[in-house]
Structure 1
Amino acid sequence: MINFLNQTKQPNTKYANNKRVFVYPLLCVIAAIFLVQCSSKDNGLPAGDPDNAGLFVPDGFEVVAVVDSLKGRARHLTVNTNGDIYVKLRFPNDEGGNAALRDTDNDGKADIIETFDDYIDRSSYGTEMRIHNGYLYFSSVTRIYRQKLTDQLVPDTELELILTDRQPPRQHDTKPIAFDNEGNLYTVYGAPSDVCQVDDRSPLSPGMFPCPILEDRAGVWKFDANKLNQFQEDGEKFATGLRSVVGMDWNHQDDNLYAVVHGRDYMHPTWPNKFTPWEGSVLPSEVFVRLKDGDDAGWPYHYYDQIKGDYFLNPEYGGDGEKQGEDVDQLTDPVVGFLGHFAPNDIMFYEGDQFPERYKNGAFIAFHGSTSSAPYPQTGYFIGFVPMENGIPTGPWEVFADGFAEQEIIKNTSDATYRPMGLAVGPDGSLYVSDSEKGKIWRIMYKGDKDEFGEAELAGMEERKRTASNIKTPVEFEDLVVKPNDEDDIYSDENVGEGGKLYNTYCSVCHQRNGLGNDRFPPLDDAEWILGDKTRLINVVLQGLRGEIFVHEKSYNNVMPKLDRLSDEEIAGILTYVRGSFGNKGSKITPEEVAKVRKTNETP
C-alpha cells in the first residue's frame, strides 16, 4: 500500500481514476476499523485527563476530573442509573445542602451543577448520599431524609424525614447509611467523646467505668428504611463499641454489614508516660470490621494494635500497651487493621463489571488522611482496596489511587491539596471519588485488557505502599519530620520561644503547628475567638470548650480540653504566642490577666 501510493513513475492515465477509486475506499475501511477498535477499547468511556487528573493509579486505568470544585465542598456522593451525580455538601447554605451534576455530552465533565434542599442542621459533618429503591437518601448530622427520584436532575418531590436524632450536633455525629436486603436501614450514633474520659481529651484523665455513653451512642442502630418520622427509640441497637464511623456498606455477596472505624486519638499527648511519640503516631489501628447483631468492637475500654494483631486495654482503663484486660476474645475481629489515623471515611464493595475481575466483590476504602500523626508524617490521603471473596480477604490490602495530597511529605493537614472523602460506582462500573477540601470529583475508568491485568500493572502502586510517607508505617526516629531543633523549620521549638514550645506541646496536635487547623479543629489565623475578647479566650484554655462553633463561616464541632493545670505564666505564654503568630497581630496576654480570670472562676 505504501509503495503503491508513493511510486514515482507517472501513472497511466487509463488507470489513474481506477487507482483513486481503489485507494480512497481502502483508506476509509482502515479508518473505520481503527475507530471501531478504539471504541471497543474505551467501551464508550470518555477520555482520561492527560495527567490522570493528578492521580496515580494502576496501569490500564485512566482518570478524568468531573468537576474541579464545588462551592460547598463535598462529603459522600452517589450516581444514578443515567449517570447523574448527587453530592452531600460539606458546608450547606441557603442555596442548599446537596448538589446535582450532569454530563450532557459524555466528555466526563459536569456541564450542569445545581444545588438543592435547604434543610435544618447545617453542621459540616453531615455525610451520607445514597440511592435506594428509587429514592435519594441523605443525612445531616442529626437527621436522615429521602426524596423520590424523577426524570428531573433535581428531584421535584416532597422531602421526607426518615429519622431525627434528638441530641444536638456533637463530635463524631456523621449519620452514614447502609441498607440490607430486608428493608432495613442502618446508621451510626457516634460517641461524643474520645475515650469516655472524665475530662474529655485532657491529659491523664481516667476513663469512666462503666462508660455511660455506651447506652445510647457509640454504636449502630437498625431502622425501617421506609417508615417516616422515626427516633432512636424506634430502632434496634445492632452493634456497640464503635467510637466514630463515617463509612458503612452492605456486602450483598455474604449478606453482612461492614464498617470502617476511626480509632481513638492522642495516645502519646494524653499519656506521655506510657506511649512514645512513635506509638502515638501509628496507634491505634483504624479497623475494617464485619458487624453482626450484638457485636462489640471494643471502644472505649480497648483499642486494636495492628502490629501485634490483637486488642489491648486503653490507658484510661489501666492499659500500658501490654495489658489486654478481660473478655478480649469476645470482641469483633477486624477484617483488616490499618495504620493508625488513616481516617477511613467511606467504604464500597465493587459490584461493577468494568474493572478487571480481581476487583469484583472487593472493598474500596477512602482514607481521608490523618490530623494527629505528628511528629511523623501525616498519613492516609489515598484510596485503598481489599480483594475479597464472600467477605474474606483473598490477599493483602492494596493502594488503588494516590496523589490527592499533591505533597511528598505532609507535615500539617492543611498542606494537603485534596482529601479523598466519598466513593460511588456509576452504571458503567466507573469509580467516583469526592474530595472534602475543594469539592473536586474524579472518575476512574479501566481502558486496558482485563484478561492481561496482573502483578505488572500493580507494581507501581505496590511500590507506593512500601515507600510513600503518607502510606507506609514510619520508621521510629528515622522518619521524624518535626524535630525540636530544626533551624530551617520556622515552627520548630528552636524558633518559636517559650510560648511557642508550649503551643507545640499542648495545642499543635489539633490546631497544627502552622495554626491552620483541619476539618476537625478550627484555624487560629485572623479568628475572632483569638483576637477578640481576652477573657473569653483565657476561659477556653482554663475551662475547655465543647459544642458547635463557627470560624471563618465554617462549622466546627469537637472538644477543646481544659488546660487549667498549666500555670498562669504558661497559659499567658501560649496565648501571647497565638495572638502574635500565623499572621495575627494581637496584643499580649499577661499572667496577671490569666490569674484574674482563674480567680473569678473559682469564686463561689
Structure 2
Amino acid sequence: MLLVLLAACSFTQCAKSPTKTLPQGDPENGGLFIPDDFEAIVVVDSIEGKARHLTVNKFGTVFVNLRYSKNGEAIAILKDTTQNGKADIIERYGNLKKRSSGSRGGYSTAMKIYNGYLYYSSELVVYRYKLDKKGDIIPREPEIVMVDDHAHKQHQHIAKPIAFDNKGYMYVAFGGPSNACQVEGRTPGSPGIDPCPQLEDHGGIWRFDANKTGQTQKDGFKFATGIRSVVGLDWNPIDETLYAVVHGRDDLYRLFPERYTPWESALLPSEEFIRVTEGSDFGWPYCYYDQLQNKKVLAPEYGGDGKIVGRCESCDDPVIGFPGHWAPNDLMFYTGDQLPERYKNGAFIAFHGSTNRAPYPQSGYFVGFVPFKDGKATGEWEIFADGFAQMDPIVSVYRAVNRPMGISTGPDGSIYISDSNQGKVWRVMYKGDKASFEKKQLAAMEERKSATNIRTPDEEKDNLLFGKKIVSRGHELYLKYCAACHQDDGHGAGGRFPTLVDTEWVTGDKARLIKVILRGLKGNIEVKGESFSGLMPQHSFLKDEEVAGILTFIRTNLGNNASTIEVNEVSAVRNKLEQEHSHD
C-alpha cells in the first residue's frame, strides 16, 4: 500500500509541476533576459544556413526553415535523444537548388505542422512533406501546395507566411510590392497611384484549401486587403479568428522631409497586431496607423500631413499598434499547459528588430507577449525574452549578435525561439509554481522597457548623430538618403541591404555605381558572397553634384579607400541613360 501511495503522490506531483521532467537551464539562460522562475537552454548554438520559422512535433523534434544553405537544403531537423535539452542530432533535409518552381532567398518563412503534414515556404512556393507515425518526414519530393505565379517573380515583401483554421483552410499573405504604391517608386514627393492596382493581387491575405495541391493565387479567395507586409500569421482557436502582425511602411522622412522629422520617421508608422476577418481592410497604401495618436491617418502620398484622417476613417484599426520598424516576424497563440495561467491563449510576437531607425538606436530585437482575457486582447503588452542583440544601444543592425525570428510551442509546453543571424535555437521553460505567478515576477522585464531597443527615444539625447562630426556635404546626404538601409557605418543588414564596405560594387567600376544610384537596382545580386533580391530605389532626383558627393564619401570612407567621383562623371552616365531611354 505504501508503494502505491508513493507512486500516486509522485504522479500527482508530476501532473501539477511538469518541471520534474524538464532539463536544466543554461547558465545565465543562454544570454536571455526572461521573467523570474523561467529558465532557458540553447538547443543548438548555430545552424548552417541560418534560421527562419520553426515548429516542433509531438515527439519533440524541431523543424527549422533555413534562410540560406550551400547545398540548397530547405529544412534543419533537430533531435534531442539524450533528453538533456540539447540537440545531439542535426540533419539538413531537401534540396531546392534544382527546382524551378521557387527561389529560396532570405524570405523563406513558414514552418507549421497540419493534418499530418509539415508545411513550409520559400519566397514563391508553399510546400509540404507527409510525416510518418513518429513525426518524421517520409522521404520523397515535397508536394507543391501553392505557387506565387506572378510574372514579376521578385519584389518587396514577398514572404509567404501561412496559418490554418479549424475548417480545413490555409491562409497565405501576399505582400504589397512597394512602399506605398507610388507613381515613381521611392522618389521623394512622388504621389501614390489612386486607385492602387497592386491591391488586385497583393497587399492582402488569401484563403486556400489546405488539403489541395498545385494551387495558384487564382484558386484562392481574397480574404482581407490593405495589408502591406506580413511575416507572421496565426489562428486563434479561442475566438476562431485569424491574426497577423504587419510591417508598416518606411521612409517618411527621406521621402517627405518637409512633413516629417527623423524622429517621427524612426517611430512611425506603427507595426500593427491585427485581427483579420473576412472583408477586413486595413488601409494600405492609402493609410497608416499612428500609435502616438492612436488613430489611422492618410499617407503623404495621398495628401496626408500626419494629421488628416480622411478616407482612413472607414479602415480597420489594429488590436495594438507597436512602435515603428520593430519588424514583427512571427506570431503564436499559446495553448500549452506548462506556463502560468496568464500566458494561456495569449499571443507571443517575435520582433526581429529594426534596420532603418537611423539616426536613432535600432529597436525591437525581443519577444513580446500580449495577454488575452475572455478571448480578447487586454491592450497591454509585456517583454517575455530580451537580450538577443547583446548590446545597448544597437547602433547598427549588423552588430546585433542575434535576432529573434520564429516561435513555436513544444509538446510539453516549452517555448522555442529561433535566431536568424547565427541559426541559434533556445528553449524557454517555466520552473516555478504556476499558482503563485504574479506580476511581481515580471517586474524586471518591465524595467527592461527603459533600454534603448524598447523605449521611445528622446528626440535630442538619443540622436546618435548628436555631436558627431559631419565630414562633408556628401556625408550629410548619405545620412539622409542612404543610412536608413545601409546603416550609418555602411555595413548594411544581412539578407536585406548589402554592405558598402570593401566591395567591388562600391570600389570598382565607377559607371556601374553611378548607374545604380540614378537608375536603381532590382533582381538578384551577390555582394561579398551573400545573395540579395530586394529593391534599390532610383535616386535620379539628386543633382549631379549631390550624387558625386555621396559616392565620393562612400568610396573614401566607411573603410573604403577608392578614388573620388567627379561631377562630370555623373553627368556623362546620366546623359547616356537618358539617351538609352529615349531610344526605348
Q: What's the TM-score once normalised by structure 2's chain length?
A: 0.93
Q: Which residue of 2 aligns with 1:399?
A: 383
Secondary structure of the residue aligned to 1:43 is: helix
Q: Which residue of 1 aligns with 2:505?
A: 529
1:273-284 aligned at under 5 Å gives the runs: 273-284=258-269
Please tell me whether residue 271 in structure 1 is matched to residue 253 in structure 2. no
Q: Which residue of 2 aligns with 1:574?
A: 550
Match of 2:476 among 491, 501, 512: 501
Amino acid at match of 1:553: G
Please tell me whether residue 52 in structure 1 is matched to residue 37 in structure 2. no
Contact 2:274 2:319 in 1 (8 A): yes
Q: Which residue of 2 aligns with 1:141?
A: 123
Q: Which residue of 2 aligns with 1:207?
A: 192
Q: Which residue of 1 aligns with 2:516?
A: 540
Secondary structure of the residue aligned to 2:65 is: strand
Match of 2:148 among 159, 165, 170: 165
Contact 1:95 1:116 in 2 (8 A): no
Runs (4+) of structure 1 moved beyond 4 Å?
none
Q: Which residue of 1 aligns with 2:568?
A: 592
Aligned-partner Cα distance in 1 for 2:458–2:532: 33
List gaps (5 residues or longer) in structure 2: 1-5
1:112-511 aligned at under 5 Å gives the runs: 112-119=89-96, 120=99, 121-150=103-132, 151=134, 153-167=136-150, 168-326=153-311, 328-394=312-378, 396-465=380-449, 467-483=450-466, 485-486=467-468, 492-493=469-470, 496-511=471-486
Contact 2:59 2:135 in 1 (8 A): no
Secondary structure of the residue aligned to 2:272 is: strand
Secondary structure of the residue aligned to 1:464 is: helix
Please tell me whether residue 556 in structure 1 is matched to residue 509 in structure 2. no
Contact 2:358 2:488 in 1 (8 A): no
Structure possessing the higher radius of gyration over alpha carbons: 1
Aligned-partner Cα distance in 1 for 2:20–2:231: 34
Q: State the Cα distance separating 1:537 from its structure 2 match.
A: 1.1
Aligned-partner Cα distance in 2 for 1:549–1:198: 25
Match of 2:80 among 87, 103, 107: 103
Amino acid at match of 1:126: S
Contact 2:17 2:433 in 1 (8 A): no
Contact 1:100 1:154 in 2 (8 A): no
The CA deviation string for residues 376-407 of structure 1, in whole angstroms up to 9 with x for no partner, is 21110000000003441235111111000101
Secondary structure of the residue aligned to 1:499 is: helix
Contact 2:130 2:137 in 1 (8 A): no
The CA deviation string for residues 186-222 of structure 1, in whole angstroms up to 9 with x for no partner, is 0011111011111222211111111111111001001
Tell me whether 133-142 or 93-102 shows the greater mean CA deviation.
93-102
Q: State the Cα distance separating 1:154 from its structure 2 match.
A: 4.8
Q: State the Cα distance separating 1:43 from its structure 2 match.
A: 2.6
Identity of aligned residues (%): 54
Q: State the Cα distance separating 1:595 from its structure 2 match.
A: 1.0
Distance change in 2, residues 1:247/1:476 (3 Å): same
Secondary structure of the residue aligned to 2:533 is: strand
List gaps (5 residues or longer) in structure 1: 1-28, 487-491
Q: Which residue of 1 aligns with 2:3?
A: none
Q: State the Cα distance separating 1:258 from its structure 2 match.
A: 0.1
Amino acid at match of 1:358: R
Contact 1:148 1:158 in 2 (8 A): no
Secondary structure of the residue aligned to 1:589 is: coil
Aligned-partner Cα distance in 1 for 2:556–2:419: 32
Q: State the Cα distance separating 1:567 from its structure 2 match.
A: 2.1
The CA deviation string for residues 401-453 of structure 1, in whole angstroms up to 9 with x for no partner, is 10001011011111211110000000000000001111111100000111111
Please tell me whether residue 515 in structure 1 is matched to residue 490 in structure 2. yes
Aligned-partner Cα distance in 2 for 1:380–1:196: 26
Please tell me whether residue 91 in structure 1 is matched to residue 82 in structure 2. no
Q: What's the TM-score once normalised by structure 1's chain length?
A: 0.90
Amino acid at match of 1:140: S
Q: State the Cα distance separating 1:95 from its structure 2 match.
A: 4.5
Q: State the Cα distance separating 1:268 from its structure 2 match.
A: 1.3
Q: State the Cα distance separating 1:481 from its structure 2 match.
A: 2.2
Q: State the Cα distance separating 1:311 from its structure 2 match.
A: 0.5
Aligned-partner Cα distance in 1 for 2:375–2:135: 37
Q: State the Cα distance separating 1:548 from its structure 2 match.
A: 2.7
Contact 2:270 2:324 in 1 (8 A): yes
Aligned-partner Cα distance in 1 for 2:136–2:502: 40
Contact 2:319 2:379 in 1 (8 A): no
Aligned-partner Cα distance in 2 for 1:84–1:362: 24
Distance change in 2, residues 1:395/1:195 (3 Å): closer
The CA deviation string for residues 469-527 of structure 1, in whole angstroms up to 9 with x for no partner, is 111112222322222x42xxxxx41xx33322221121111100111111421111222
